[in-house]
Structure 1
Amino acid sequence: MRALAEDGWEVRAASRGGGRDEHWPEDVRTVRLDREDDAALASVIGDGCDVVVDMAAFGRTHARQLTGLAGRIGSAVVISSGAVYEDDRGRGFDTQNEPDGGPRYPVPISETQRTVAPGETTYSTRKVLLERELLAAGDAPPVTLLRAGAIHGPYCRTPRELYFVKRLLDGRRRRVLAYGGRSRFHPVHVANLAELIRLAAARPGSRVLNAGDPQAPTVAEIGAEIDKVLDRETETVLIDGAPEDGVGDTPWSLEHPVIYDMAAAERELGYRPVTDYAESLPGTVAWLTERLRGRDWADAFPKMVRNYGRDGLFDYAAEDAWLARHDRTAG
């Protein structure tokens, strides 16, 4: 919102709670909106607007909400996901828990890479269905779909960095990483995503673009950077292969790299990232630390619990037992 407002747009921010960020310019207006209420959405659009930025769209219903208002929408920028891609054997994010189900994408992944079949059953299939419905409408309205990587930054409801930050705050000085700590899941900071939105709003068109940071650090590099921010030292113990009974698993843990090609965004929008992972990390860590202060992590981040389970990320007992066995074997 801030990037658009500073670019000269008259901005209305719609959300279920109708709240506002303290960092937004004062002239950003807020409004309560239940996205599932077609009439409420139409009322917010009113007689028309130049651009709709949709951060919450999934599936056919939301796509048809937008296309149904085409006469009142100049263009739209809609957040999709890099999870839509599948490899040449049909493996994607939805098959990761199957035997030999980890996808092996080309490095980097371009927007021409095939996607999973559209449907209403999973996150990935719903995002593909959303894309297909919107693109099938042609320029009614023109839509830029941004296939975001692993979104990070303050206010994220599922902050992957919590995995390392909470461990350090809890006094943990050893961590276990699967796949030799080499996992790479391309991140995108909220400021870089905002820059892509800002550029796409000023250049309407129907297209699909990847959204990522300038670098895709390994999970071991991410842990080391968070150590630096909190001024801690951590010993990293590596499992060469997959997690063992959940030990070594992290929100970035993938057997094979997921790295998005940003050439199309650079070419079509003139995109240049405004930050990188390491540069942006202190702000994220400070926000996480403050949000955790005096609170149970599950209360602070309920969506993380829904996504990973309460013990899925921080089963210290299982981790300590694994480390004890590892130390006996190593000794």
Structure 2
Amino acid sequence: MTPPRERVLVIGGTGPTGIPIVAGLVERGHTVTILHRGTHERAETPDSVEHIHADPYDADSLTAALQGRTFDVGLAMYGRLRRVAEVTRGRVGRFLSVGGVPALRGWMNPFLADPAGTPVPLSDTAPTVAHPDEDEKGFRVARTEEHVFEQHPDAAHFRYPYAYGPYQVVPREWMVVRRILDGRRRIIVADGGLTLHHHGYTENLAHAVLLGVDHPEAASGQIFNCGDDEVLSVAQVIELCAAALDHELEVVSLPFELAVPARPLVMQPLPTHRVLDTSTLRDRLGYHDVVPAREAVGRTARWLAANRPEPGGMEEVILTDPFDYDAEDRLLAAWDSALAGFPEVTFERAPGWGHAYSGPGGRPRSRPTFEA
């Protein structure tokens, strides 16, 4: 069944996920208005879209801009979400909002669990941050979620993880891509680069929100964890970036305590995993990635290579990666030296992988041929 054509107000609409969301709304035949400050006009925005220039961070500016206007759907993904929820009350029929996963207790403070580390996977119904001393940012995000539903009880709220793709201001892949462009042949990771950290490709996150527009009854009153179907490890992201740019890059594993240059890629003070349970999004809205994560990382690497962030600019400041290759080379040399001088240790009976393991190097077949 084709969804009805509606008048949709998008607060924002020119950011990394706003661009594909607006395009998707127009493709569905909706009449789209975007409200933004006008500082980032995008060539990708369809000509049919109406622009309202106002400040979504200023309640007075927002109120004045929407005076006398009503819409069937309001989609808030920029500005002060609490004030946006208040101002749009009575002006929109349905309200959808975008927030972040820091609302979930432990996402930004893995030491809240004992032993430390966020539960895997982390449900969208898991406890949120209850006190500022647990995590100040997460506490504010969680209270904002509550305020949204106080203003719009039937709202649909979408929790984003870190996004990646074109225009992202926290471009994780740039930490790999810049090293490739600078001719680096080795990159340091912590503990094999096996940390899993849930991200969402911009087109995939946009698809999740668009499904909320398409299925109002299923989305009503719900909070959805969002993210790619597949959660890639740090090492996999590095290898995919290198493959996309046809570059050989050796991944060198150091213990977490020594792998100081790997901190920006781990993005937290422990190598524990941060993985979301997105089953509510899949079960209620029928979500599946429109771009598989492995392909999306390659696309992002190529986009960054063609649209390089400014060295020392905002993106690199946010990433906190100094790209200090001299220090990295000294650390690599020290590690190589330590490995070279490490004594060979032999075991009287070599430890194995366990008899239940039958993969490469595991327990051999009991019979040379398969018998049905």
* TM-based fold match above 0.5: yes
Residue 16 of structure 1, aligned match among 37, 54, 64: 37
Aligned residue in 2 for 1:48? 70
Give the counterpart letter for 2:253 in structure 1: L
- Cα distance in 2 for residues equivalent to 1:182 and 1:234: 17
Residue 64 and residue 15 in structure 1: after superposition, are their counterparts in 2 closer, same or farther (change >3 A)? closer
TM-score, normalization by structure 2: 0.77
Classify 1:192/1:99 alpha carbon distance in 2 versus 1 (closer, same or farther; 3 Å).
Answer: closer
CA distance in 2, matches of 1:117, 1:191: 32
Is 1:155 the equivalent of 2:167? yes
* Residue 78, structure 1, aligned to residue 93, structure 2: no
Equivalent residue number for residue 223 of structure 1: 238
Deviates more, 1:17-26 or 1:66-75: 17-26
TM-score (norm 1): 0.86
The equivalent residue for 2:28 is 7
Higher mean displacement: 270-279 or 170-179: 270-279
Q: Deviations over 1:136-180 (max 9, x none)?
A: 3352xx321111122111011111111100000011110110132
Structure 2 match to 1:318: 327
Are the equivalent residues in 1 in contact too, given 2:76–2:84 (CA < 8 A)?
Answer: no
Looking at structure 2, the residues matched to 100 and 197 of structure 1 have their Cα atoms a distance apart, in angstroms, of 31
Q: Determine if the alignment matches structure 1 residue 276 to structure 2 residue 292.
A: yes
State whether residues 250 and 313 of structure 1, in contact with CA within 8 Å, keep that contact through their aligned partners in structure 2. no
1:158 is paired with a residue whose SS is: coil
The alpha carbon displacement at 1:57 in A equals: 4.6
Contact 2:174 2:304 in 1 (8 A): yes
The higher radius of gyration belongs to 2
Q: Is the 8 A contact 1:242 1:255 kept in 2?
A: no
Over 3 Å counting, the alpha-carbon distance change for 1:100 and 1:109 in structure 2 is: closer
Instruction: Please provide the CA RMSD for this pair.
Output: 2.5
Instruction: Pick closer, same or farther for the CA change 1:138–1:154 going to 2, 3 Å.
Output: closer
Instruction: Give the percent of matched residue pairs that are identical in Structure 1 and Structure 2.
Output: 26
Whether 2:342 is the aligned partner of 1:328: answer: no
**304 and 76 in structure 1: CA distance in 2 versus 1, 3 angstrom threshold:** farther
1:212 to 227, 235, 242: 227
CA distance in structure 2 between the aligned counterparts of 1:175 and 1:81, rounded to whole angstroms? 30
Q: In the superposition, relative to structure 1, how do residues 180 and 283 fare at CA in structure 2: closer, same or farther (>3 Å)?
A: closer
**Residue 298 of structure 1 aligns to a residue in which SS?**
coil
Query: Which of these residues, 184, 198, 212, is aligned with residue 210 of structure 2?
Result: 198
- Unpaired segments of 5 or more residues in structure 2? 1-21, 341-372
Asked if the contact 2:82–2:144 (Cα under 8 Å) also holds between the matched residues in 1, the reply is yes
> Whole-Å Cα distance in 1 between the matches of residues 155 and 316 of structure 2?
30
1:1-331 map, 5 Å: 1-46=22-67, 47-58=69-80, 62-86=81-105, 91-93=106-108, 95=109, 103-117=116-130, 122-137=136-151, 139=153, 142-204=154-216, 205-244=220-259, 246-253=260-267, 254-292=270-308, 296-299=310-313, 302-305=314-317, 307-309=318-320, 312-331=321-340
Unaligned runs of 5+ in 1: none
* CA shift for structure 1 position 29: 2.4
